Amino acid sequence: MGKQLRFGLVLFAAAGAVYFYLNYRFESHYENGRLGYVKIVARGAGAAGSDQASALPAAETFRPTFRIATFNLGRFDEAKAANRSVNDVLVHLLPQFELTALQGIRGKNQGVLVRLVEQINAASGRAFDFATCPTQKRDAIEHYTAFLFDRQRIEVDRTTVHFVEDPLHRFRVKPLVGEFRARGPNPAEAFTFTLINVETDPEHVAAELDLLAEVYRTVRDRYARAADGKMEDDIILLGDLESDDAHLGPLNHLWGVSPLLSGLPSTVRGTQLLDNILLDRRATREFTGRVEVVDLQHDFELTMADAMEVSEHLPVWAEFSVYEGGQPGQVLLQTPK
């Protein structure tokens, strides 16, 4: 009788183990690159941080707005990427924005970005990726910019991501251009836009601001007369401009284009407005009116010295609707009969 009972218990345990194996799995969650906890989830549920580029956000996580930010990382190289205190701030800060134009990246390859994205995804359980010009690696450009984005909220047409060509080498850091679309709505109704990511040379501000106005006009005119019929009027220039909203030179004279941030400093010391987001509010009606500067010291309980270690610049973000025109059905209503 005892042997039969033991055999029955063993058989029951084996059956339970098989059932568990077939229906559940262990999912590891990491925080700051270290194992935080292990969770039991049903098989078939998406793993945190897995590539879900082709999937739309789940219905319960859908949000009608998203944030576009700009942040100069302040010489973000291998040494800075290995700084644990800096890293801890970045992996918790950057997931607050669905799309960030990053400046100040240093290195002959994209290794620092690869590791940063891995750490962000491990800490947040999200699916972030980055995009920069494919020639960056080939040409061994050591100082460049990039776009960081959440693949579940934003998609990028990587064939459009390129540095602005400048045969005369007048830019210290070439502006980076890319085309994006919000995820969530029907693609025909989703907000599409083009970003121009800039990092202005502090020693040649006036000259580069002149060039940036020319770049903006060139990008805007390209879409206005596109041979393929593709029209895009949502052109957003953002980044480190090394000048406040009143002293942007020719950028202040672009028809309809204006900076979103005015009267607020964008540096840790609180003395200068250097970073901004510019767009044509008549065209980009998807802008909700919200624009803010992140206070690193307050939000992360840092001393000024600690915040300066992350960057001398503060992130600036603006909020946009995921729908073209700012609301569902707007595109269909505007379609000519």
Task: Record the pTM.
Answer: 0.80
HEC states along 177-240? EEEEEECCCCCCCECEEEEEEEECCCCCHHHHHHHHHHHHHHHHHHHHCCCCCCCCCCEEEEEE
Give the model's pLDDT for residue 17. 53
Contact 317, 67 (CB under 8 A): yes
Superfamily for 59-334?
Endonuclease/exonuclease/phosphatase (3.60.10.10)
For the chain, give percent helix, strand, coil, nearest 5: 30, 30, 35
* pLDDT value at residue 12: 53
| pLDDT in 10s for each residue of the chain, 337 residues | 555 555 555 555 555 554 544 454 444 433 333 334 444 444 433 333 333 344 443 444 689 999 999 999 999 999 999 999 999 999 999 999 999 999 999 988 899 999 999 999 999 999 999 999 988 777 777 899 999 999 999 999 999 999 998 888 899 999 999 999 999 999 999 999 999 999 999 999 999 999 999 999 999 988 765 545 566 889 999 999 999 999 999 999 999 999 999 999 999 999 999 999 999 999 999 999 999 999 999 999 999 999 999 999 999 999 999 999 988 866 544 433 3
Structural domain boundaries in the chain: 2-42, 59-334
Dump pLDDT digits (tens) for 283-335: 999 999 999 999 999 999 999 999 999 999 999 999 999 999 988 866 544 43
Read off φ and ψ for residue 150, nearest 5 degrees.
-85, 115
86: helix, coil or strand? helix
Q: Look at residue 24 in the predicted model and tell me its pLDDT.
A: 46
| Closest by Cα among 318, 213, 205 to 266 | 318
